[in-house]
Chains A and B, each alone.
Chain A
Amino acid sequence: MVAIPEIILNDLHKNFGGCLAADGLSLKVSKGEYICVLGPTGSGKTTCLRMICGLTKPDKGRVLFDGVDITDAPISERKATMLSQAYSLFPPKTVYENVMFSPAIKEWDEHEARQLVKSMIMMVHMENKAESYPAELSGGQQQRTALARALASSSDILLLDEPLRALDARLRLELRQELKSLVKEMGLTAIHVTHDQDEAIEMADRIAVIRKGKIVQIGTPMEVFRNPVTPFVANFVGRSNVFVGKVRSVCDEFSEIELEKGAIIKARKTDIPVGTDVAVAIKIGSTRIPAIPQPTAEKPEPEVPQGFFKGIVERILYEGATITIEVEAEGIGLVSSKLPNRKYDDYKNGYEVMVTWRPERASVFEIPPEGIEEELRLD
């Protein structure tokens, strides 16, 4: 028997005065799963969450929880709690009263409610601040209080709308795992919306990449990162070098693409017929830039080996743990490469180097009808 997915979004449409926030949005989420909906600003991420909890009514399409159609059910009955990026802790209530909100309005047994609220506050380590008001809390404390409030509501589904966005960069990184493990511990189903690909890759069981109101690809972080299905996904989930050309030949191990700028490069094998216009995407972490072989006594004029291309270092960016080097390669164009920072001293602007990658790391896509520029746009 196949387990019924807890949440099914079936072909949702939502039009905000000509702006399509959902355009045939479909998604299945299983019980206990932690899904990240990843997309650029304005892609319809928040609308997707709002349609799940009922704050926005879809124009068309259904929302099902446990197989039951709840598209028209009142918000309060859905047991899907929103955790917004501003946390929205009720200002006139203390931390304790905020967490007590759900138990109080649902009129649960007072003793049990108090126990529950206390344990939730302990769980997020806020017991010292239980009598404080939201205005007296730091960003991280507010975030944890909002989480405790959501956890105490007996909801089955947690909807997180950029929950880490308002935090300091450092804290944001620390809270990623903490947040996820709390959600897992409570056995909740979580849908986490974000535009931060690192956050999604690190936290999600599965990532759903959303664009223009549609889910473009859904899969584990590794699947989405390694095998993107469109050039957009390739570039949005981990930056990619994108080259345009034509398929020249395909064999069992790889395919050959003739680029517009002249070079013939190798990429993974593809079903796209020979002669079609294609885009090739290679993650910037998958390109290597070895030094050019030096002339020796036996080989006074060493050749550039197969699959390698000559280029000149144009720019070196120091990023802390990593560096990114941009190379103008012959017949290809500008190629970026992400390297560990210990390589920093090996390169200087203007150095002659070679560029290469493993063919199976280069994905090949048919060029979409709107053109490659439009496809790669981030807004």
Chain B
Amino acid sequence: MSLFKWINNVSNNERPRKAWFSFVCLIFIVLIIIPSIFVVLKMFTEWDIVSGVLGDPEKTSLIWGALWNSFSIAAIVTVVDIVIGIPMAWILVRKQFRGKKYLDTLMDMPLVFPTGALGFSVVLFWGAPNGIDIPGLGMVLSPYIMLILLHIIFTYPYMVRSLSAILEQIEPNYETAAMTLSASRFTAVRTITLPLFRAGLVTGTILCFARSLSETGGTYAALLLMNANGIFFTGPTFIKHMKEIQDPTAMGSMILISVLMIVFALILLVVVKLLIMRFKIPIKKVWPHLGRKLSRGAVPKLKDAFSIAFLAIIVLLPTFYIFTYLTQPMADIDFVALMSAIGTSFAVAGVAVVFGIVFGIPIALYIARKRDTKLGKILDNLVNVPLIIPTTALGFSLGLFWSTIYAGGSLNLLMVVLGHMAFTFPLVVRNISGAVEEVDQSYEEVAMTLGAKPFQTFTKVLMPIIQSSVIAGAILAFTRSLGETGATLAIDRSANTVPVYIINLLDAGKHSEAAFCSIILIAICFVFMLVLRLVVSRGGRHT
């Protein structure tokens, strides 16, 4: 309590406030930004080994192949997400029906699953992997198609969430007005609402793209089960593969592919922003007859039915297919190892989230309140960097950075924590700054003129209003950390987090044990999220 008072009194003066903010910025730059892109610097200092790789056509073709797979899969997946995501967001925001709450919860379920388990489950559903007697659809799909099906599942919720967040802010009044001016619903939505949608599309596209590019655990699990491992690579699985083989040139390959992924991802960030913001949706022309036909009769219903069917067949069924293992005899589970893995995962995620909240809030506040200043713009863009960089490349870069500074090697777990801090940080900041932007600044201003000091203004006025968004951001970051495989592996192959544990089980051919461990973890996560949701909805009753 006295610490609280002390902070409160100190916050009344401008100088300590500035000092604290500078400190936060410093931490952000030194702990997150620099390590994330350190590998680019490393490429120049270690140019010899990199140029060695460049001179080897066999290796470069592998690298280009992996990059092509990663980026083309991400692109296809994002387009599918947009096309299917828009009607789904519509259903979630504009329609009222019984069971909407459950649909809403189901939407987020793939986020709770450890990605390794998800990859496992998806291959189980669509294909018939060797050595497993669970019956699936038994289709023979190429790894490329299978990965697209898999990546749609965990990117889809991000797209729908981003789109529905924006849609909620767009008042239906515009559409209603257009319709009273005798536009058909289709035309009204296309010409009035869609153009307002761009911001959501940008966020959704970036999130989906980044998520797909980063994905390691599920991709690896899927490839493993399809016996395509070591033949078919994406960027992240290539890094994982290189980490495992004892090859003197591996380092050069890893540096090269990491740098390429980072550079392409950053270019993409800029291109996507420009493309979506500049791209002219054909809103001037109207086709009244077509619009009317599309707005009446069976078409809208078919569209909704298709969206729901897509969600059920492409997303939900494959996701939950792993639960068919419950019909099998219980596997022999090493509970001690599993629990220690769960403990490690929760500890890593917990530290990362707490760090994100403590240091993310000042940055989020600054971005939200001072967007027009130069520093605000810089921070706004910088925060996106760890989000768009594929986590495997980020983890690899981070590992290089810290091992350059500290060569002891006994602090591996700390490095894993630092890695998780880096890629969860943007999620927390984005959520909070989005929420703060919604809050009228006059609340805080009036509070200060009523005698509240800046810190009190934050804790007593702003925080109660935005707390549900803070918690939502924390949950998002927490689950993201729990599910992360690539970054963890790239930093420390021996780190004992749950996703790594499950991947190792799959690697060892212990499918049944991996499935049961996944189910246990999913159950724990689900209960955890349910409790959090309950707490949040109780606390945020009146907001």
A interface vs B, CB < 8 Å?
A: 53-55, 74-84, 86, 88, 90-93, 101-102, 105-106, 133, 135, 149-150, 153-155, 159
Give the distance in Å from the alpha carbon of A79 to the alpha carbon of B465 in the complex: 25
9 nearest A-B residue pairs (beta carbon): A82-B449, A75-B448, A92-B464, A88-B442, A88-B446, A74-B12, A53-B449, A153-B450, A81-B449
CB-CB under 8 A from B450, the residues of chain A are 81, 101-102, 105, 149-150, 153, 155
CB-CB under 8 A from B465, the residues of chain A are 90-92
Give the distance in Å from the alpha carbon of A154 to the alpha carbon of B12 in the complex: 19
A165–chain B nearest beta-carbon distance, Å: 13
B447 interface residue, CB < 8 Å from A? yes
Give the distance in Å from the alpha carbon of A159 to the alpha carbon of B449 in the complex: 9
A80 near B447 (CB under 8 angstroms)? no
B449 near A105 (CB under 8 angstroms)? no
CB-CB under 8 A from A133, the residues of chain B are 542
Residues of B in contact, count (CB < 8 Å): 23
A74-B13, A76-B12, A86-B440 known; A91 and B449 CB under 8 Å?
no
Among B70-78, B104-112, B453-461, B497-505, the stretch that binds chain A is: B453-461
A88 near B440 (CB under 8 angstroms)? yes
Give the distance in Å from the alpha carbon of A203 to the alpha carbon of B543 in the complex: 36
B452 interface residue, CB < 8 Å from A? yes
Q: Can you name 27 A-B pairs with beta carbons within 8 Å? A: A55-B448, A55-B449, A74-B13, A75-B448, A76-B448, A76-B451, A76-B454, A79-B451, A81-B449, A81-B450, A86-B440, A90-B443, A90-B447, A90-B464, A90-B465, A91-B542, A92-B464, A92-B543, A101-B450, A102-B450, A105-B456, A105-B460, A106-B451, A133-B542, A150-B450, A153-B450, A155-B449
Give the distance in Å from the alpha carbon of A150 to the alpha carbon of B543 in the complex: 23
Closest to A150 in B: B450
B437 interface residue, CB < 8 Å from A? no
CB-CB under 8 A from A149, the residues of chain B are 450
Closest to B543 in A: A92
B48 interface residue, CB < 8 Å from A? no
Closest to B12 in A: A74
B445 interface residue, CB < 8 Å from A? yes
Closest to B448 in A: A75
Known: A76-B448, A92-B542; 18 extra A-B contacts, CB below 8 A, are: A74-B12, A76-B451, A76-B452, A81-B449, A81-B450, A82-B446, A82-B449, A84-B442, A84-B445, A86-B442, A90-B443, A90-B447, A92-B464, A101-B452, A101-B460, A135-B542, A149-B450, A155-B450
Annotate B517-543 by CB proximity to A: 1 below 8 A, 0 otherwise.
Answer: 000000000000000000000001011
Give the distance in Å from the alpha carbon of A105 to the alpha carbon of B13 in the complex: 17
Closest to A135 in B: B542
A91-B465, A91-B542, A101-B460 known; A76 and B453 CB under 8 Å?
yes
CB-CB under 8 A from A90, the residues of chain B are 443, 447, 461, 464-465
B91–chain A nearest beta-carbon distance, Å: 27
Most buried by A among B442, B448, B451, B540: B451
CB-CB under 8 A from A153, the residues of chain B are 450-451
CB-CB under 8 A from B464, the residues of chain A are 90, 92-93
B487–chain A nearest beta-carbon distance, Å: 37
Give the distance in Å from the alpha carbon of A86 to the alpha carbon of B446 in the complex: 11
CB-CB under 8 A from A74, the residues of chain B are 12-13, 453
B542 near A102 (CB under 8 angstroms)? no
Closest to B461 in A: A90
CB-CB under 8 A from A105, the residues of chain B are 450-453, 456, 460
CB-CB under 8 A from A155, the residues of chain B are 449-451
Closest to B467 in A: A92
A91-B465, A105-B452 known; A55 and B460 CB under 8 Å?
no
Which one of B443, B445, B453, B542 lies within 8 Å of A55 (CB-CB)? B445
